[in-house]
Structure 1
Amino acid sequence: MVTLRTERLTLRPARADDLDAIHALLSNPRAMAYWSTPPHTHRDQSREWLAGMIATAPDEGVDFVIAHHGRVIGKAGFYRFPEIGYILDPALWGQGLAGEALRAVLGHVFTAHGLERAVADVDPRNAASLRLLERLGFRETGRAAKTWLVGREWCDSVYLALDRKDWPQRTA
């Protein structure tokens, strides 16, 4: 798997020694507020999650850890094509880092992997994520109620998509 570099970020394959940083992120209630699982309470949960990320076959997905100044601050990519997913340390929200990472990942999968369409499933309460995806060119394709049982709470979904043919227009 390749390493992607942006002005401020390095997006690289995950490694087993990323566990501490990944567990800090996945156990953070603020970071996990709109994730598909509750915050991790045990390192073994994060270890298993990280092992799954590392084991993803290139024809199934491409997922990166995001490093900023040498420190792992999140993840962005496709655990399984065509669904994009990302999470970022809340201490760094609002600085444009998620958008910077997603632009790099989308450019990579549309060119190197030939992906025709990227899709996203977002909790409708996650207004910041919906705005980010809209800025990147994603368009809403539907909504559904009670799609995810997270802990003891049913959450809804907003479905979005971005076609490869529309991507060059977004980066021009």
Structure 2
Amino acid sequence: MTVIHTERLVLRHARLDDVAAFHAILSNPVAMRWWSSLPHASVEETRTWVEGMMTGSVAGAPDFVIEWQGRVIGKAGFWKLPDVGYILHPDAWGQGLAREAVGAAIDHVFAERMTDIATADVDPENPGSIRLLERLGFTRTGSAERTWNIGGEWKDSLYFALTRDAWQARLRTAS
């Protein structure tokens, strides 16, 4: 199983002992504001979600648990290529941790040639996620209205993409 170490983080595959930590994230209305489902109402719902992450990992999905300072703070990666996704506990926001984790996951899938493009679907009302994607080199490719119905409320989407060539060129420029 793949484990990625960054300057401050460890990205690894999910385990059953991650359920409590993920429940603290996935039951938090602030963390879930722009997620594709309502906050989790039970630990069992979160257990099913973590088990899905584990099943995906066994099948080769590069979707990672994020550990920071010895604790699980979220997830970053690709539950289904080429769609990148990420969520962090609000206590971990504003410290560049999402950028570090998502960047490492993107670097992994491009280095392993798992895909030639990474894509993202973001709520237009989520400025933090839009900034994160733009800082990583994603460009906006389109938009659509009423794409997600979350608890009876329709959400719109902005679509972003990043090619492997653009990512590699960006890395060469940064060196």
TM-score scaled by length of structure 1: 0.97
Structure 1 position 95, deviation (Å): 0.3
Identity of aligned residues (%): 53
Q: Does structure 1 conserve the Cα–Cα contact (< 8 Å) formed by 2:78 and 2:85?
A: yes
Q: Once the two structures are superposed, what CA deviation does each residue of 1:3-24 show, in whole Å capped at 9, x if it has no partner?
A: 0001100000100110000111
* 2:28 partner letter: N
Give the structure 2 partner of residue 102 of structure 1.
Answer: 102
Give the structure 2 partner of residue 50 of structure 1.
Answer: 50
Structure 1 position 114, deviation (Å): 3.3
| SS of the residue 1:131 aligns to | helix
Structure 1 position 57, deviation (Å): 5.1
Give the structure 2 partner of residue 114 of structure 1.
Answer: 114
* 1:89 partner letter: H
* 1:95 partner letter: Q
Give the structure 2 partner of residue 36 of structure 1.
Answer: 36
Note if 1:76 corresponds to 2:53: no
> Aligned partners of 2:59 and 2:135: how far apart in 1?
28
**Unaligned 5+ runs, structure 1:** none
Structure 1 position 44, deviation (Å): 1.1
Structure 1 pair 117–103 and aligned structure 2 pair: CA distance change class (3 A): same
Q: Once the two structures are superposed, what CA deviation does each residue of 1:47-72 show, in whole Å capped at 9, x if it has no partner?
A: 11111000015666211000001100
> Aligned partners of 2:155 and 2:60: how far apart in 1?
26
> Aligned partners of 1:52 and 1:58: how far apart in 2?
10
**Unaligned 5+ runs, structure 2:** none
Give the structure 1 partner of residue 158 of structure 2.
Answer: 158
Q: Does structure 1 conserve the Cα–Cα contact (< 8 Å) formed by 2:66 and 2:75?
A: yes
Structure 1 position 168, deviation (Å): 1.4
Give the structure 2 partner of residue 2 of structure 1.
Answer: 2
